[in-house]
């Protein structure tokens, strides 16, 4: 028995030492990789719930990224960011940094809905069908009315469809321009940290992004380093125009995510300072993506649609009642008529109650209003929204960034005068003529040299940064 056991152990050891077949080795490697990915996904999911509470070492472990020497000082950054070889795997796992667009119907299906959809259009097409029946089946002589009425319906629907498709195309073009922005990203290449310019759509969880004043936050970030006095504008999410400070310190576990000062969210803007942020949420996993998913419901009907539907119901009841009464009256009339004349009279009484000109009149009026709004740089995606805007009696809105552009402008130079211990002011527009009298040129030189604003690469001649810095630089630069 002992000898048999020894032989069995020897055979077991021999089998363990034998190499696995190629297919089994590949399968084992895939299983191990799947387990590693599942573990990383579990840690990443937990991190998305509370990204503001972990320490830097916990963030490094959860996202599988390097955070050694993380600081605003470039010289101290030894190992920072993800390995470039892992980017493709992260992108296949988490997808692109884009919000999933809502499902859109084909433009031709939308055109057919504009032509044949809606209670009023259905009533008009019933009129056309009845006219055609009277003309070709009962031998009527009016063949022009159904053709003209069909042309009016198709033309009105096509005009409305064209306007909405044009506005939709402009909106999509603007969204594509906004998503084409590049950001500074730190990644590892052959064990060395490198600084790259990466499209915002190509960011993945674990990337290290460096942002400056004036830049839009491309994803949900955990601030791992920032300069003193860094401010972020969260008005895109909260509606609050007052900029909020940001810090790299850990937040208490009892604090809500939206109230944490060490997190910045996608869609917000850096107003002042510089920061290094660790991407923990992209695309639909961002706070903005979660909000978009919750409101991605069917479009509510406009007040115009509700009013027209109510009006059409009344017209339909009246038209059917008049048509039926006319039919009964023609049948009971002492002047006997054949079936063709009875149906013709009843159909005529029915058609007389239907306002065929209502559809083109409403469409043309709304098109004129949308054209006027387009001249004021307002895109109308749904043409009936113009009437809804006209129904507004009281509009409550904040000022900064909504009624105003959120920009500042330097209007005057103030120069101290030693002789009188006072201050002399000169308008920026007259700075050239006043430059010899006041020491404005030296003041303007200080304003240009001591600024955090930078030229905007997307708009030549303009600058990006905090509104105050941009206003000072724009006012001092011509002098």
Q: Maximum CA pair distance of the chain?
A: 123
Structure tokens at 364: 């043309």
Residue ranges in 333-465 assigned as alpha helix (H): 339-352, 358-375, 385-390, 431-434, 440-449
Q: How many C-beta neighbours within 10 Å does residue 352 have?
A: 12
Residue 182 φ/ψ, nearest 5 degrees: -110, 150
What's CA 6's distance to the chain center, in Å? 71
Which residues have CB under 8 Å from 357's CB, separation 6+? Answer: 152
| Dist. CA 371–CA 163, nearest whole Å | 9
| Dist. CA 106–CA 101, nearest whole Å | 14
398 given a catalytic annotation = yes
| Dist. CA 2–CA 377, nearest whole Å | 93
Number of H helices, E strands in the chain: 16, 15
| Dist. CA 65–CA 278, nearest whole Å | 9
Catalytic residue among 31, 142, 249, 398: 398
10 Å CB burial of residue 5 (0-12, 13-18, 19+) is exposed
* Cα-Cα-Cα-Cα dihedral sign, residues 50, 54, 56, 60: negative
Smallest CA-to-CA distance from 231 within 218, 217, 220, 251 is with 217
Length of the chain: 479
Which residues have CB under 8 Å from 241's CB, separation 6+? Answer: 233, 235, 398, 399, 400, 401, 402, 406
Cβ–Cβ < 8 Å for 211, 217: yes
Structure tokens at 299: 């479009």
Structure tokens at 429: 């527009």
| Dist. CA 415–CA 447, nearest whole Å | 13
Instruction: Provide the annotated active-site residues.
Output: 398
């Amino acid at each position: 028995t002992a000898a048999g056991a020894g032989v069995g152990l020897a055979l077991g050891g021999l089998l363990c030492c034998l190499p696995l077949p190629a297919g089994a080795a590949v399968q084992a490697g895939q299983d191990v990789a799947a387990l590693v990915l599942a573990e990383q996904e579990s840690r990443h999911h937990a991190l998305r719930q509370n990204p503001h509470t972990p320490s830097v070492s916990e963030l490094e472990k959860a996202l599988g990224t390097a955070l050694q020497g993380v600081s605003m000082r470039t010289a101290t950054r030894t190992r920072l960011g993800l390995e470039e070889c892992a980017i493709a795997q992260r992108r296949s796992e988490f997808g692109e940094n884009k919000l999933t667009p809502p499902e859109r119907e084909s433009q031709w299906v939308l055109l057919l809905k504009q032509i044949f959809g809606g209670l009023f259009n259905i009533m008009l097409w019933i009129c056309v069908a009845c006219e055609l029946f009277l003309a070709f089946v009962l031998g009527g002589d009016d063949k022009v009315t159904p053709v003209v009425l069909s042309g009016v319906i198709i033309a009105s629907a096509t005009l409305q469809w064209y306007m909405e498709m044009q506005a939709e195309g402009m909106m999509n073009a603007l969204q594509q321009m906004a998503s084409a922005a590049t950001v500074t990203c730190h990644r590892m290449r052959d064990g060395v940290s490198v600084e790259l310019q990466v499209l915002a759509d190509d960011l993945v969880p674990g990337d290290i992004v460096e942002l400056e004043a004036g830049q839009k936050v491309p994803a949900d970030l955990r601030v791992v380093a920032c300069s003193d006095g860094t401010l972020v504008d969260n008005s895109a999410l909260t509606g609050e125009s007052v900029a909020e400070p940001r810090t790299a310190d850990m937040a208490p576990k009892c604090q809500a995510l939206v109230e944490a000062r060490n997190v910045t969210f996608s869609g917000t803007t850096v107003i002042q300072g510089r920061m290094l942020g660790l991407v923990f949420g992209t695309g639909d996993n961002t706070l903005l993506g979660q909000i978009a998913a919750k409101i991605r419901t069917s479009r509510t009907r406009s007040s115009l649609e509700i009013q027209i539907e109510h009006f059409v119901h009344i017209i339909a009841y009246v038209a059917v009642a008049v048509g039926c009464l006319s039919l009964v009256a023609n049948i009971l009339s002492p002047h006997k008529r054949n079936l063709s004349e009875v149906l013709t009279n009843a159909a005529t009484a029915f058609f007389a109650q239907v306002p065929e000109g209502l559809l083109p009149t409403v469409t043309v009026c709304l098109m004129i209003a949308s054209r006027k709004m387009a001249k004021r740089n307002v895109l109308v995606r749904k043409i009936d929204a113009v009437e809804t805007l006209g129904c507004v009696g009281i509009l409550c809105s904040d000022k900064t960034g909504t009624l105003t552009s959120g920009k500042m402008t330097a209007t005057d130079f103030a120069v101290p005068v030693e002789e009188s211990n006072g201050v002399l002011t000169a308008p920026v527009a007259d700075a050239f003529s006043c430059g010899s009298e006041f020491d404005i040129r030296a003041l303007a030189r200080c304003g240009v040299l001591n600024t955090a604003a930078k030229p905007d690469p997307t708009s030549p001649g303009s600058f990006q940064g905090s509104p105050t810095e941009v206003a000072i630089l724009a006012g001092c630069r011509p002098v």
